[in-house]
């Protein structure tokens, strides 16, 4: 999956730029949500969905969603962190069940031993 990280980044940046130029993206306060979402997506794309990447990638995506909902005035600013804590706790609980696959074990090449 790592070979797709750079092309996906370029397409995402181009799409966001296009939406901004067409006045379809209110970048002002949403820029932090977009940055958090980008970090979460890149984490999951780069490492795949597994027990190692799930909390980090989904934690950033959850933070992006909560911040975006605040930007659109669905709730007060002070509720962001408690909501994130509850959501992150749920993500960690999901990570400890069988729902999320284990991280792949790196394969090591056999070392040659000289006698």
Instruction: Tell me the per-residue pLDDT of 30-88, one tens digit each, with 9 for 90 and over.
Output: 788 888 898 898 888 888 899 989 999 999 999 999 999 998 888 888 999 999 999 99
Q: Cα torsion at 75, 79, 85, 90 (round to 10°)?
A: -30
The full length of the chain comes to 115
In the structure encoding, which two tokens stand for residue 76, read together?
């007060």
Give the pLDDT of residue 111. Answer: 65
CB 96 within 8 A of CB 46: no
In the structure encoding, which two tokens stand for residue 46, read together?
């780069």
In the structure encoding, which two tokens stand for residue 20, read together?
């901004």
In the structure encoding, which two tokens stand for residue 108, read together?
């090591």
Give the pLDDT of residue 1. Answer: 55
Q: Tell which wins on pLDDT, 5 or 68.
A: 68
Confidence of residue 115 (pLDDT cuts 50, 70, 90): low
**With 80 as the cut, is the pLDDT of residue 109 above it?**
no
- Domain borders along the chain are 2-95
In whole angstroms, give the CA distance from residue 52 to residue 104.
9
């Amino acid at each position: 999956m790592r070979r797709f990280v750079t092309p996906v980044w370029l397409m995402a940046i181009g799409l966001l730029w296009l939406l901004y130029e067409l006045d379809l993206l209110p970048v002002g306060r949403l820029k932090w949500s977009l940055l958090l979402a980008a970090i979460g997506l890149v984490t999951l794309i780069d490492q795949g969905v597994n027990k190692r990447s799930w909390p980090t990638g989904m934690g950033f995506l959850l933070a992006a969603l909560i911040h975006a909902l605040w930007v659109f005035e669905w709730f007060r600013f002070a509720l962001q962190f408690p909501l994130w804590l509850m959501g992150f706790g749920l993500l960690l609980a999901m990570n400890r069940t069988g729902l999320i696959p284990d991280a792949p074990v790196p394969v090591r090449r056999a070392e040659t031993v000289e006698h």
